[in-house]
Amino acid sequence: MMNWRQILLVLKREYLTRVKSTVFIISTLLIPLGFVAYIALIIGIQFWESEPQQDIGIHDQTEMLVERLINQNDDRYTDMTHVPVDSLRSLVIIGQLDGYILLTEDHITGGQPPEYIYTGSSSVTLQTSIRTDLREAIREERLVREQVSDEIRNIFETQVSLQTRKLTETGDEEEDHAAFYAALGFILGLVIFFSLFMYGTIIMRGVIEEKSNRIIEVIASSIRPIELLTGKILGITSVAITQFAVWTLLIVLVAMAAGPIAMMLVGDVTADPAAMEAAGGIDPAMFEIPAVPVSLVFGFFVFFVLGYFLYSALFASIGSAVDSESDTQQLMMPVFVVLFIGFFLNMEVVQNPDSGISLFGSLFPFFAPMNMISRMAISSVPLWQIGLSIFLMLATIAGTMLLSARIYRVGILQYGGKAGFKDLLKWFRQS
């Protein structure tokens, strides 16, 4: 039976040592600031990024399309029908034109795609815009030649939009924020993925440091290895929860202030339709953040803690088996592979949260921390699936702790040489 007094002493030492460190304080403050800077950068790009002006010559042998293109964007397109094609190529080469397009009757009647000839660089956005302009111009000319009436043309150009409403279990309708919750689910899964790696590495480095300084020999003489391992895991788990709590509080405060501040900054732009169009058609509603359910926040902490317990035991056993961090690569590879498989499954979860692969990824213990929280954010996951996922993780944690404790018990007192998987199996059998 474990001595919980000893475990609490190790937990307290690990927690206070790391919480008081300069690295912890700086990272706790800088990461939310980095998040704010990233959001501000995205908003700034939306408002102030402008595509470089392109001067594209149009050599229109039909004499029907160039006017339509110029009407669509007179800053981009220039009528160069009177200039020979060879001269256009020369103008592009010397930089007086960014590119040119040759239009013939076959592009209207034969369905042959036009070609955009350019030098230097051309963004995907620009090419997509040119393709859209050409499609509109050619389609308009075809409709005119077929003498289609304005009424039929309006019907043809009408676009049908789709508005979605979510039906709750009580039968009430509520506004649908599927895109927001999909992004939130992916972000939560991504945060857990990086956190498992980051905090797992911290505990591994801590074990290696204590082992290399021979501190572990003194500690092991007064406490059982399983108690030491449990205390270290609980201590760093407490550090992680503290850090996440501070981050959550700061991000919530920033999110509450971000909407009003952003609306103040863009108020003049949205008041002027022309300026709003120039800014990319920014919708003020994009700054409204839907409410995040408390159950989702609670579920995030639950699955993070369970995932950390699961992986930290593996990281600690790896740290006990080596003398330096450079010797951990071979032993860490299987853990990394499992983590990355879980992360790649998360992309499927975000796109199809109710698929069979998503269900497997949210129930399999080594993948569940990242994927179940994403499913909970995106869709209504049955309670029995959440409960089964937690149960399977708890059972796996018990087995992983037993396996890691046996390796840890022998590994922390082993020095010299580079341990491999055969050595880990040998230590497990010895203990």
pLDDT, one tens digit per residue, over 309-338 is: 888 888 887 877 776 776 677 778 888 899
CA distance 361 to 345: 6
pTM score above 0.85: no
Structure tokens at 186: 């992916």
Axis-axis angle for helices 178-212, 294-321 (nearest 10): 30
Q: What is the DSSP letter of 197?
A: H
CA 426 to each of CA 228, 353, 419: distance values in angstroms, whole numbers, following the listed order: 21, 42, 10
Greater confidence (176 vs 381) lies with: 381
Average pLDDT for 369-375: 92
Give the separation between CA 29 and CA 34, rounded to whole angstroms: 9
Cα separation, 265 vs 43, in Å, equals 10
pLDDT band (50, 70, 90) for residue 431: low
**Pairing state between β 165-167 and 116-118:** unpaired
Is 217 in contact with 415 (CB distance < 8 Å)?
no
Rounded CA separation 88/296 (Å): 60
Dihedral of CA atoms 33, 35, 40, 46 in degrees, nearest 10, equals: 170
pLDDT digits 0-9 by tens, 386-407: 999 999 999 998 888 888 777 7
The two structure tokens encoding residue 319: 């740290």
Task: Specify the pairing of strand 56-60 against strand 99-103.
Answer: parallel
Cβ 430 vs Cβ 340: under 8 Å: no
Say how far apart CA 352 and CA 358 lie, in whole Å.
Answer: 7
The mean per-residue pLDDT over the stretch 177-189 comes to 83
User: Which tens digit of pLDDT belongs to each residue from 266-286?
Assistant: 555 444 444 444 444 445 555
Higher pLDDT, 58 or 208: 58
How far, in Å, are 141, 150, 153, 244 from residue 146 at the CA level?
9, 12, 11, 65
Gyration radius of the chain's alpha carbons: 31
Collapsing DSSP to helix, strand or coil, 77 comes out as strand
Angle of helix 329-351 versus helix 368-378 axis, rounded to 10: 20
Q: Which of 218, 323, 285, 240 is nearest to 28 (CA)?
A: 240
Q: What is the pLDDT of residue 279?
A: 46
| Domain boundaries, given as residue ranges, for the chain | 4-45+176-430, 56-155
Which architecture does CATH list for 56-155?
3-Layer(aba) Sandwich (3.40)
Across 179-183, 186-190, 228-232, 259-263, the highest mean pLDDT is recorded for 186-190
CA 56/CA 116 separation, integer angstroms? 9
Contact 358, 352 (CB under 8 A): yes
Q: What is the pLDDT of residue 303?
A: 93
What percent of the chain is predicted at pLDDT more than 70? 78
